[in-house]
Structure 1
Amino acid sequence: MKRTGDHTPAAERRGERPPKDARQLLASSFGSAAVAYAEHRPDYAKAAVCWALEPAPGLRVLDLGAGTGKLTATLVALGAEVIAVEPDAAMLTELRRALPTAQAQALQGSAEAIPLPDASVDAVLAGNAMHWFDMAVAGPEIARVLAPGGILAGLWNLMDDRVGWVAGLAQVSGSAAIGPRDTPANWRIETAYMHLPQTGVAARFGSAEQAVFAHGQRRTADSLVATLATRAGMLVKPEEEQQATLSRIRAFLASRPETACGEFTLPMLTGVLRARRL
């Protein structure tokens, strides 16, 4: 694990977010690929999830923007009482297929309108989802459902571009497939202040901490291409552009000894941004 403590605004550059309409288009794109998302997206490093929960007062956990349940499954395995909230009906169908109600309660809802009572959970976790939230609205909602002393944590799976062939893959893929939060250095900058504004809702949370944890996913060239095809930037591309990008990625993977034949481990990290509700 690598971690950093509190940051000052001058120490980090705030990342530029897409315009609201563009962000909504990207955020709503996943339902069209819900089955592929469930099959190919990775889970989250167990150590990262444990660190996110470490200071929580209990194990009543809301998985917010739960998608097909990648993070939900890890939380269930850790013994948490989990409620998963997801706005997209197709993603929610895959979540319920993977995790029956006996394991996790799954509800349709959003970060901006959470269908839970006040102070009803000890932690709110979001896996590869917090950057889609409108925190001006979602922040007070998250604070509302969190018990005093509760934890808000965002988790992101990152490509470890400190590894040579992964850095090459990022260059070939372009930002639609491997975006600004998908590599460690950029993730630290993009998440440090974007999701916990310095006024308003920030008064409800303490200082944020970041940490990264080693992770990996067994892939083949074909399944890695399929994984990258589920990224929002890829899903909204015109078909011709999407196929051209995927063809470049296939050619790159075929050219590298690490990925040309059979299974390999994709070097990854899980990054966590964590803050306590005051």
Structure 2
Amino acid sequence: AAAGALPWRTRDGRLQVALIHRPTYDDWSWPKGKLDPGEEWQVAAVREVWEETGLRVRLGIPLPDSEYKVAGASHRKHVRYWAAEITGGSGKLQHEVDAVAWLTPEAARKRLSYDRDREQLDALVKAHRNKALDVRPFAVVRHGKALPRRKWDKDDWLRPLEPRGYREAFGLVDVLRAYGIARLLSSSATRCADTLRPYAKAAKLPLDTTYALSEEGFEKRPKKAVAAMRKHMAGSRPGAICSHGPVLPDLLSALAGDARKPGRAVLKDAAKNNLEKGEVLIAQLDRRGHIVAVERIPPD
């Protein structure tokens, strides 16, 4: 399994994409590489772009997968791709690459060494044409596995994560970083705040909490949970919220109303069947606030 991305930018109003040249194979392709053991696809995609181009990126919409026969091997290689917006980095080449070329889509199509890589390019160009490429991620997180209610005799909102839940919380750090999450809002319950706290510390971000996203607050005033989510979504930087199983169906149903196909179907299914504990749902919002892509990332 491998993951990669199509770094993109605009210059003088024109779309450009970055291709890499690998001297070992003398080919031009997209930055990509194998997943490390236990690594999420999205995390691997961001890491590979950094290692091969020296560029820091934030993942955007998912692009078509690629599957092909590897020369001299009995298996087929499966690669997942994302569009990736540049957020930093020196551009200094670091790993098995001797050149990076920023090209228009037309020039990139000619330069690419493999027909299979043109499918991702076509999808990226189509998204740009439909104004669905310049997006802002918004993450919805269900808190990690918590201590069972029967084993806790204090107020329920103080109930902590159990060891598995803490592992899930630390597993979120690289995932949320891959999407450049820069604002955090949690239910005031301990198990929710502690799910986002490792990322808050790693990214040096404040962690805001609200009673509106808690089970107790939702039971009293359910509409306030959606209002709190929408207010947080309205910020210009990528955001994340963390809440509870009983609250999430209303939140996800509200998001489904903002979504285009096929993301709407994913959100409706999530609202109906809920997220797993520790799961992350990523919604990509265009400049008008419409959700143009949705991904679900299960816990480890």
Q: TM-score, normalised by structure 2?
A: 0.30
Larger radius of gyration: 2
More strand by share: 2
More helix by share: 1
